[in-house]
Amino acid sequence: MSSLVPSPTLFIDGQWCASSDGKTRPTINPYDASVIMEVDEASAEDAQRAVAAAKRFFQTSDWPRCSCADRCTHLKRMADLLQSHKAALAKVETIDTGKTLGESEIDIDDVTNVFRFYAEEASKLDQEKRITGPLVPESVKSLIVHEPVGVCVLITPWNYPILQLCWKLAPALATGNCVIIKPSEVTPLSTVYLTRLLLEAGFPAGAVQLLTATGASVGPVLTTSDDVDLVSFTGGLATGRNIIRSCAETVKRCTVELGGKNPNVVFADCDLEWAIDNVVTAVFVHSGQVCSAGARLIVEEPIADALVAGVVKRANEIVMGNGLDPASETGPLVSKEHLDKVQAYVELARQEGAKVLCGGTRPDPAQFPHLAQGFFFLPTVIDGCDRTMRIVQEETFGPILTIERFPAGDEETAIMLANDTKYGLAGGVQSRDQARAERVARRLRHGTVWTNTYGAYTAQAEWGGYGMSGNGRELGSKGLDEYVEVKHLWSETKPEMMGWFKGARM
């Protein structure tokens, strides 16, 4: 791994460096629990140095003032580099996260599009907008101009390290901000690799700082510093709340993309085999470690038993294994700690009176010896659920599907159930009646709703949550707005005495 991700792993003030106190942390391969490598762990002092360097560069360099079009040449180059490094980068991502190589490659293709999209989208900001019309005197030149926000801290989770980082990086850098990158301590390796690519793509070293660290060690500095202007966070609800509170002290811009407990509503008119495939894919990709996973099946009674039986059969057939093995359909959970959390949720479901139809445990080591060392958890289907249960309302972030049923023809109950969540990130509506599917989709209080499919996204469309799934949006043109200050320049071209106070000589 050292040839792909060399040490040291901190990048501060234009230099790769170890942490000030020499601390490191092992990063673990979730497939077999082996140590991949030691990663430098930034201290609070390192975080202060990174903030100071970013601020200095923002204040003294041309970077914030050059045109978006100039900066966007680096974005296009970055897109090309992502493609030419795809094989190696995907391998790093797979070893560190456990996801399959195919998934890692899809992530890299997706973020290549994100860099290309923002290269075009940000260039539009170079065109200043002149306000004219009856409310603006003819002698006035009224201009709306766009400027970078300043020093932006980008904090990412462990499940999609490349993807979540690039959703932030591309718009932040396109608009001339300086970024401080803080990946998850659980899966930092692809971010270290990406930072090297950023420098190769021509982004100035001063515009990029990288802190591999825990949230506890650098979070307080990054979220309370007067010299940080924006925090963009993707992660869990509890951490998000803390970050919002910290940012409030200095009134910094703060966007949070948080968890989800996403309903997938299936009507009885669906083709059965198609619906089984849809439900299994929506929940079990990446072993359910997906913020938008369709973890809550809400199914119309007439099809329910057959659908659930089919989903159980397919869940039992999913091939788990090493993400590097092309035969693997899904990998392990990311850590022992996370495995224990998912296991505890299954026990909780049993205590709540639900019935575990399949999975609910680690694979049997006698049957699957090659999975014995890793953090694998069997795809799990839990029936007999109702909306009051914690297993239905809380994000397990594992391969767990809960089943709720609604009476035949009762569209309103389906909508009520799908909206009965504190979250509101994503959901699905499956019906051969396209008009009904779209009608129900419009009633769901979720940031993205798929009808007759699940999980797709595009760089061109906004992503984000209602309710406690977060605030703000990533991707699309609003994803750019997060990183831009809007300034109004009102220029009087024929100055006169203003004459407001009596003492003025007219």
- Burial readout 404-416 (b: 16 or more C-beta within 10 A, e: otherwise): bbbeeeebeebbe
Residue 158 or residue 376: which is nearer to ligand NAD going by CB? 158
Cα-Cα-Cα-Cα dihedral sign, residues 105, 106, 110, 116: positive
Which range binds ligand NAD by CB under 6 A, 71-79, 105-113, 254-262, 318-326? 254-262
- Look-up of token digits 């069997």: 378
Cα-Cα-Cα-Cα dihedral sign, residues 472, 473, 478, 481: positive
Residue 286 or residue 314: which is nearer to ligand NAD going by CB? 286
Q: Distance of CA 434 to CAs 195, 267, 385, 455, Å?
A: 44, 11, 28, 18
- Residue in 51, 172, 198, 258 binding ligand NAD, rule: CB under 6 A: 258
C-alpha–C-alpha distance, residues 437 and 433, integer Å? 6
For β-strands 380-383 and 355-358, DSSP reports them as antiparallel
Which range binds ligand NAD by CB under 6 A, 170-178, 234-242, 275-283, 353-361? 234-242
- Residue in 97, 239, 255, 278 binding ligand NAD, rule: CB under 6 A: 239
Residue 253 or residue 439: which is nearer to ligand NAD going by CB? 253
- Burial readout 115-138 (b: 16 or more C-beta within 10 A, e: otherwise): bbbbbebbbebeeeeeeeeeeeee
Q: Any contact of residue 158 with ligand NAD (CB under 6 A)?
A: yes
Minimum CB distance to ligand NAD, residue 78 (Å):
21
Residues 102-121 that bind ligand NAD (CB under 6 A): none
Residue 23 or residue 439: which is nearer to ligand NAD going by CB? 23
139 is written with which tokens? 């002698």
373 is written with which tokens? 């060392």
C-alpha–C-alpha distance, residues 127 and 125, integer Å? 5
Binding mask 283-312 for ligand NAD (x = CB under 6 A): --------x---------------------
Q: Any contact of residue 430 with ligand NAD (CB under 6 A)?
A: no
Q: Any contact of residue 234 with ligand NAD (CB under 6 A)?
A: yes
- Residue in 55, 168, 182, 286 binding ligand NAD, rule: CB under 6 A: 182
Q: Any contact of residue 159 with ligand NAD (CB under 6 A)?
A: yes
Residues with Cβ < 8 Å from 269, sequence gap 6 or more? 431, 432, 433
Q: Any contact of residue 421 with ligand NAD (CB under 6 A)?
A: no
For β-strands 296-300 and 355-358, DSSP reports them as unpaired
Residue 185 or residue 229: which is nearer to ligand NAD going by CB? 185
DSSP result, 378-428 = --EEEES--TTSHHHHS---SSEEEEEEE-TT-HHHHHHHHH-SS--SEEE
463 is written with which tokens? 């992503």
Q: Distance of CA 498 to CAs 135, 228, 501, 503, 504, Å?
A: 18, 38, 8, 11, 8
174 is written with which tokens? 């396109």
- Residue in 219, 263, 294, 379 binding ligand NAD, rule: CB under 6 A: 219
Q: Any contact of residue 398 with ligand NAD (CB under 6 A)?
A: no
- Residue in 20, 24, 113, 214 binding ligand NAD, rule: CB under 6 A: 214
The DSSP element (H or E) to which 25 belongs, if any, is strand 24-29
Minimum CB distance to ligand NAD, residue 498 (Å):
48
C-alpha–C-alpha distance, residues 460 and 183, integer Å? 24
- Residue in 103, 107, 110, 257 binding ligand NAD, rule: CB under 6 A: 257
Residue 345 or residue 397: which is nearer to ligand NAD going by CB? 397
Q: Any contact of residue 395 with ligand NAD (CB under 6 A)?
A: yes
Minimum CB distance to ligand NAD, residue 495 (Å):
49
- Tell me 183's DSSP state: -
Angle at 134 between CA 129 and CA 135, to 5 degrees: 70
Give how many residues touch ligand NAD by CB under 6 A.
Answer: 32
Q: Any contact of residue 260 with ligand NAD (CB under 6 A)?
A: yes
C-alpha–C-alpha distance, residues 182 and 14, integer Å? 16
For β-strands 129-131 and 140-148, DSSP reports them as antiparallel
Q: Any contact of residue 470 with ligand NAD (CB under 6 A)?
A: yes
Q: Decide if 485 is catalytic.
A: no
Q: Any contact of residue 472 with ligand NAD (CB under 6 A)?
A: no
Residue 142 or residue 214: which is nearer to ligand NAD going by CB? 214
Minimum CB distance to ligand NAD, residue 45 (Å):
16
Which range binds ligand NAD by CB under 6 A, 134-142, 232-240, 312-320, 385-393? 232-240
Minimum CB distance to ligand NAD, residue 43 (Å):
14
Identity of residue 496: E
Residue 142 or residue 419: which is nearer to ligand NAD going by CB? 419
Catalytic residue among 257, 395, 404, 482: 257
Minimum CB distance to ligand NAD, residue 232 (Å):
11
Active site residues: 257
| Binding interface with ligand NAD (CB under 6 A) | 155-160, 164, 182-185, 214-215, 219, 223, 234-236, 239, 242-243, 257-260, 291, 395, 397, 425, 465, 469-470
